[in-house]
A and B are shown apart, each in its own frame.
Chain A
Amino acid sequence: MAEEFEPKIVAFLCKWCSSAGSDMAGVSRMEYPPNVVPIQVMCSGSVSPLYIFSAFNKGADGVLVSGCHPGDCHYIKGNYYARRRIHLVKKLLEFIGLEPQRFQMSWVSAAEATKYTQVIKEFVKELKPLGPQTKLRRNP
């Protein structure tokens, strides 16, 4: 049997909520698939569309952006900007033919360890049937 496809995922986690939530999942020893490599950013609002394109360009099969819940941003309103920006990026990616499942945004607070593991589990599950991402990849 051929080895199951393991999607490569880059996750941009804000320092104050989602990265802390991911730490909490670790502290609580909650298991989730190892497909995601996290990059800690200060705020989901700092995630430039360029980060997302760059990740797909470098061969990511999926990209996740996760921040504080709307209204709870450590930087007051950074995640509102993130929400609007991510929405546009998602539309753009769909327009150029990328499967919408490949790019996701989630709100995970510092206490929501269970939610973080759930987000990762579901993301990996959704990406597996899609196979490798070749649309935006530099050297497919």
Chain B
Amino acid sequence: MKRTGVFICHCGINIAGTVDVKKVAQELSKHPGVVHAEDYVYMCSDPGQNLILQAIKEKNLDNVVVACCSPNLHETTFRNASKAGGLNMFRCEIANIREQCSWVHKDKDKATQKATRITKSAVEKVQGNESLEPVSVPVTRKALVVGGGIAGIQASLDLANSGFEVILVEKNPSIGGHMIQLSETFPTLDCSQCILSPKMVEVSKHPRVKLMTYSEVQDISGYVGNFKVKILKKPTYVDPDKCNLCDECTKVCPIVVPNEFEFGLNGRRAIYIPFPQAIPASYTLDIKACPGLLPIACGKCADVCEAKAIDYDMKPQIIEEEVGAIIVATGYDLYDKENMAEYGYGKFLDVLDGLQFERLCSASGPTRGQILRPSDHKEPKEVVFIQCSGSRDPENHCAYCSKICCMYTAKHAMLYKHHVHDGQAYIFYIDIRSGGKGYEEFVQRAVEEDGVLYLRGKVSKVFEDKGKLKVWGVDTLTGKDIEIAADMVVLAQAMRPAQGAQELARKLKLAMDKDGFLAEAHPKLRPVESVTSGMFLAGAAQAPKDIPEAVAQASGAAAKAVTILSQERLFHAPTVARVISNLCTGCGMCVQVCPYEAIALKDGKAEVNEVLCEGCGTCSATCLRAAIQVKNLTLHQVHEMINACLGG
């Protein structure tokens, strides 16, 4: 029988406070195969790890079991310690007696008994373990970045500048994301387009970046280091290489539809360029709006195009790429304003959201930077800004704080005053959250220099009255009801994950949190990694964040991707399925259930591709003859573990 050593950690009093560790050690020392059992105050400390090394040497151990915290925390520590002692890493198992025992029970006797059983079960498992070496696989040294906003651009640039090929996929006709729509940025009032467009140009001209706009990720397969991606390239019906931006096509196009770049504040033609600095600099024919691609239906744009750039025969293309790492930076959209009936959005033209107000302030916007009411193009003299519109409202809307609204509302009020000197800005707020470098000072500046009036309270109703927008609210600091006859109302709408991001997350098998934002692998320690290895998160797709945070996370995600791309080969857990050939009848049931298509029939027997196999064990539960088993968690091992769990 294999010689097993058991080490029981006190974890200070975290375990020893509820579990009688001495008794566990005593019980274990009687267990068959256990030749050494001891307890120690902190097994993860250096002296603790040395105990393992020493015991391996002195007692000639074959296996090690450490009864301590969750294997998610110190499994690697103790496996490495066992390796340092000359054992194979898979000869070490962890018994979780803290998270799953001492921390959740109070009765010391019962907790001790449970801890003993958990530890015995781990002993039974390790006795059946075999020594394994990691499976090595080559790495495709290329990355995919999904989303061409500031986060995606930054991640692409960092990866490309580190020497790796990057494919940047953007669903819209141009990169730039929401940042290119902003007028100025807080707290410096830098012009957003002026600071973003150099990066857009850089990424589009970078020799290692392949830019794919108007494209969407359609399907993904493979695993870390070796993903296969299918990208749908939608037809723009305009050849960007031929197009010389003469703008003749839009002059003849008879169709006008709401301009999505301007959030419907003006219209665009069916053939359009989203904005002057768009990259790629080319027109797109919106097939949903166009009366038809047949010259008989219209064909005016192709008639006037001297460059012959318009091609009605362009077809959607599926492009297949292989990449080693993926960064998802799908960004955000604003929470549906249709849900804010109490604020009259949709009913009153002069109730806008934050992004629409950005466009009104923007020099390239529909009003060329003049702040005018959409309803009558008059200058608003009194503007009410409503913060937390949809945020921090678990009963009706989103429970979370959208983080950036306090700051951008202060900026909006300030910009408004810079445009309309004799105007008055009011801000309804719940709290002011201005954590960030120079942020608090910025809010103070809005109050002191621009005379913005902050009112602490919520707005109950916005309605039209004699050509004005009546805002009913309350000032909770004075306890008085407030009524303002405003000319314009701006809602600081909550941020939510971008449209289509959830669908993409499902394709990529990424986890989402309760609000639909992409879930990080660990909220504190792995904030840029997703739960799927080889996929990383950047920007507002993960949680509401401002530009510097999105940029920082993008660079972090790029650095994480480099840790994969810079490897020659990656190592894959060797606890994969194995076929016991003489039991296999070649029925093929395992082939059908395998989620990774890792099993195939060869000469009438199942065969496992160890690189594709993730070791989930679905095949083993399906096989009627127990002819396919996952290494180090075989049917025999589980039977023995069950026995130990039941005190047998």
Tally inter-chain residue pairs, CB-CB below 8 A: 132
- A34 touches which one: B96, B101, B121, B639 (CB < 8 A)? B101
CB neighbours of B621 from chain A (8 A): 45-49, 81-82, 85
| Interface of chain A, main secondary structure | mixed
Looking across the interface, which residue of chain A has its beta carbon closest to that of B514?
Answer: A111
CB neighbours of A27 from chain B (8 A): 99, 103
The interface size of chain A toward B, counting residues with CB under 8 Å, comes to: 46
Contact B646 A8 (CB under 8 A): yes
The yes or no answer to B641 lying at the interface (CB within 8 A) is yes
Assign chain B's interface to a size class. Answer: 35 or more
CB neighbours of A78 from chain B (8 A): 595, 616-618
Contact A31 B104 (CB under 8 A): yes
The yes or no answer to B359 lying at the interface (CB within 8 A) is no
CB neighbours of A92 from chain B (8 A): none
Give A109-140 as 1s and 0s: 1 = Cβ < 8 Å from B's Cβ atoms: 00000000100000000000000000000000
The yes or no answer to A60 lying at the interface (CB within 8 A) is yes
Contact A45 B646 (CB under 8 A): no
Looking across the interface, which residue of chain B has its beta carbon closest to that of A79?
Answer: B618
Of the listed stretches B154-162, B310-318, B432-440, B630-638, chain A binds B630-638
The yes or no answer to A43 lying at the interface (CB within 8 A) is yes
CB neighbours of A10 from chain B (8 A): 642, 645-646
The A-contacting residues of B in range 371-413, CB under 8 angstroms, are none
The yes or no answer to B105 lying at the interface (CB within 8 A) is yes
Looking across the interface, which residue of chain B has its beta carbon closest to that of A22?
Answer: B100
The yes or no answer to B107 lying at the interface (CB within 8 A) is yes
Looking across the interface, which residue of chain A has its beta carbon closest to that of B621?
Answer: A48
Looking across the interface, which residue of chain B has its beta carbon closest to that of A120?
Answer: B104
Contact A75 B618 (CB under 8 A): yes
The yes or no answer to B622 lying at the interface (CB within 8 A) is yes
Q: Smallest CB–CB gap between A140 and chain B, Å?
A: 14
Q: Smallest CB–CB gap between B564 and chain A, Å?
A: 19
Report if A37-B616 is in contact (Cβ < 8 Å); known contacts: A51-B642, A77-B595, A81-B621.
Answer: no
Report if A46-B617 is in contact (Cβ < 8 Å); known contacts: A31-B106, A39-B121, A51-B638.
Answer: yes
The yes or no answer to A23 lying at the interface (CB within 8 A) is yes
Give Cα A31 to B648, complex, Å.
Answer: 26
Q: Smallest CB–CB gap between B95 and chain A, Å?
A: 10
- B620 touches which one: A22, A48, A59 (CB < 8 A)? A48
Give A78-91 as 1s and 0s: 1 = Cβ < 8 Å from B's Cβ atoms: 10011001000000
Contact B616 A58 (CB under 8 A): no
Contact A74 B104 (CB under 8 A): no
Give Cα A73 to B99, complex, Å.
Answer: 23
- B646 touches which one: A59, A81, A117 (CB < 8 A)? A59
Most chain A CB neighbours (cut-off 10 Å) among B113, B633, B635, B641: B641
Q: B residues near A, CB below 8 A?
A: 70-72, 96, 98-101, 103-107, 110-111, 113-114, 117-118, 121, 509, 511, 531, 575, 593, 595-596, 614-618, 620-622, 626, 630, 633, 635, 638-639, 641-643, 645-648
Kindly list the 10 A-B residue pairs having the minimum CB-CB distance in the complex, ordered from nearest: A46-B617, A26-B99, A75-B616, A45-B618, A37-B645, A26-B103, A48-B621, A23-B99, A76-B595, A43-B616
In the complex, 17 of the A-B residue pairs with CB atoms within 8 angstroms, ordered by the A residue number, are A8-B646, A22-B99, A26-B100, A26-B101, A27-B103, A31-B104, A31-B106, A37-B121, A38-B100, A39-B121, A39-B641, A41-B638, A45-B593, A45-B617, A48-B638, A72-B511, A75-B596
In the complex, besides A46-B618, A48-B620, 20 extra interface pairs with C-beta distance below 8 angstroms are A16-B531, A23-B96, A23-B99, A23-B100, A27-B103, A31-B104, A31-B105, A31-B106, A32-B104, A37-B114, A39-B121, A39-B645, A43-B618, A45-B617, A47-B621, A49-B621, A50-B635, A51-B642, A82-B621, A117-B104
